[in-house]
């Protein structure tokens, strides 16, 4: 059993579940974070806090001292701070890997995205996969986790339903099995001792986007209203924003517009259903 784990991305949706899961399974945890306030929710599970900016390698000296395994879910999702995906998803993770290699850490686990080979033209995927390539080519044993969409993002469908209308792209019939952060964290810890490789991870239920939207309305007790935005219009929109905005603006949009118009199915893990999650959101109890 690997005993001392560094969690990077510790203040994020997945990182928080990861810290809780690792603690419950008896691991010693160091958390990398840049803002002490943000780790409060899970701070009591953390054995050592390392406050630093992963984008600035000068602040990372000693980060991996005494560490057996690094887990990184560090990346840009909604942060709007002027950093690009290359600065964070690639370079900040590269900075952490350099520390791990210097301290001869025995394993590095990195969270990328599902189906990266089909969407490698997207800016976020380019940055993540550049890091994956360097991780594979390094001396450290590695594991690349490729998860499906997180429930935290599916929460957007619930918010639209609360406002009265859910907007979907195309037919809304693309199937997928998004995953709850707790289920994903459990699956990540289950795979901690796996030999070097890559693993796709999805949630327990395969649903179309129409079915997910219908469940949101059902949980809210509201009349279903789903508007389907034509695919061609979405493609044109993407073309325009790519030419008039920077990657910081169009990057997240191109990612979501693309993954929402393809089948996203991964091996099934976990037990949390979307209906349960929507019910927790309705009751103000979702993590
Ligand atoms: N959401 C999805 O559906 C999905 C699906 C597949 C894969 N993924 C990938 O899984 C990973 C984790 O996702 P998540 O939902 O847990 O993300 P999240 O909640 O946004 O957390 C991201 C983490 O990265 C850190 N971070 C972001 N920008 C940073 C910067 N400039 N410098 C230092 N740290 C920075 C954040 O720190 P702060 O709290 O300080 O900002 C946070 O700890 C991401 O790489 C994401 O791309 C997500």
pLDDT tens-digit readout, 9-59? 999 999 999 999 999 999 999 999 999 999 988 889 999 999 999 999 999
Q: What spacing in Å lies between the alpha carbon of 76 and ligand 1's midpoint?
A: 5
pLDDT band at 79 (very low <50, low <70, confident <90, very high): confident
Query: What is the separation of C-alpha 154 from the centre of its chain, rounded to a whole number of angstroms?
Result: 12
Which pLDDT score is estimated for 142? 97
pTM of the model as a whole = 0.95
pLDDT-derived band at 2, boundaries 50, 70, 90 = low
Q: State in Å: Cα 224 to ligand 1 middle.
A: 32
> Probe ligand 1: pick from 42, 60, 73, 90, max atoms within 8 Å of CB?
73
pLDDT of amino acid 261: 85
Ligand 1 atom 5, closest CA: 149
- Select from 242, 241, 143, 236 the least CA-distant residue to 194: 143
Residue 259 has pLDDT above 90, yes or no: no
Q: Is residue 131 very low, low, confident or very high in pLDDT (cuts 50, 70, 90)?
A: very high
Residues 231-250 pLDDT 10s: 888 888 888 888 888 888 88
To test the pocket of ligand 1, the residue of 56, 72, 74 to mutate (highest count of ligand atoms within 8 Å of its CB) is 74
74 lines ligand 1 (CB under 6 A): yes
**Per DSSP, which regions of 122-196 are E strands?**
141-147, 166-169, 175-176
Mean pLDDT of 2-7: 89
> What's the 100 CA to ligand 1 centre distance in angstroms?
20
Domain extent listing, the chain: 4-148+179-201
Nearest ligand 1 atom to the CA of 35 is 40
d(CA 223, CA 211): 14
Give Cα separations from 225 to 134, 162, 165, 228, 277 (angstroms): 46, 11, 5, 10, 20
**For ligand 1, is residue 67 a contact (CB within 6 Å)?**
no
Residue 176, pLDDT above cutoff 80: yes
The residue contributing the CA closest to ligand 1 atom 8 is: 113
> Beta strands 207-208 and 175-176: pairing type?
antiparallel
Pick the CATH number of 4-148+179-201 from 3.90.1170.20, 3.40.50.720, 3.40.50.1110, 3.20.20.80: 3.40.50.720
For the segment 51-63, what is each residue's pLDDT rounded down to a tens digit? 999 999 999 999 9
Answer whether 252 contacts ligand 1 (Cβ < 6 A). no
Query: What tokens does 189 get?
Result: 């810890």
């Amino acid at each position: 059993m690997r005993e001392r784990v560094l969690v990077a991305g510790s203040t994020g949706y997945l990182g928080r579940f990861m810290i809780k899961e690792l603690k419950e399974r008896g691991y010693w945890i160091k958390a990398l974070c840049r803002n002490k306030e943000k780790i409060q929710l899970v701070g009591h599970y953390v054995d050592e806090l390392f406050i630093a900016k992963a984008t600035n390698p000068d602040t990372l000296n000693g980060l991996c001292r005494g560490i057996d395994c690094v887990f990184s879910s560090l990346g840009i999702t909604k942060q709007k701070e002027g950093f690009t995906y290359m600065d964070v998803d690639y370079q900040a993770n590269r900075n952490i890997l350099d520390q791990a290699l210097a301290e001869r850490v025995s394993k590095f686990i990195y969270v990328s995205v599902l189906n990266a080979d089909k969407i490698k033209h997207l800016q976020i995927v380019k940055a993540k996969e550049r890091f994956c390539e360097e991780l594979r080519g390094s001396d450290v044993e590695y594991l690349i986790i490729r998860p499906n969409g997180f429930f935290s993002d599916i929460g957007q469908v619930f918010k639209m339903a609360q406002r009265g209308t859910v907007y979907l792209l195309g037919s809304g019939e693309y199937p997928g099995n998004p995953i709850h952060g707790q289920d994903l964290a459990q699956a990540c810890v289950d795979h901690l001792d796996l030999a070097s490789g890559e693993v796709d991870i999805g949630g327990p239920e395969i649903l179309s986007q129409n079915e997910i939207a219908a469940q949101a309305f059902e949980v809210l007790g509201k009349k279903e209203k789903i508007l389907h935005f034509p695919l061609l219009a979405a493609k044109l929109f993407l073309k325009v924003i790519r030419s008039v905005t920077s990657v910081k603006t169009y990057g997240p949009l191109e990612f979501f517009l693309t993954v929402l118009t393809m089948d996203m199915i991964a091996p099934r893990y976990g037990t949390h259903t979307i209906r349960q999650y929507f019910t927790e959101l309705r009751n103000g109890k979702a993590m």
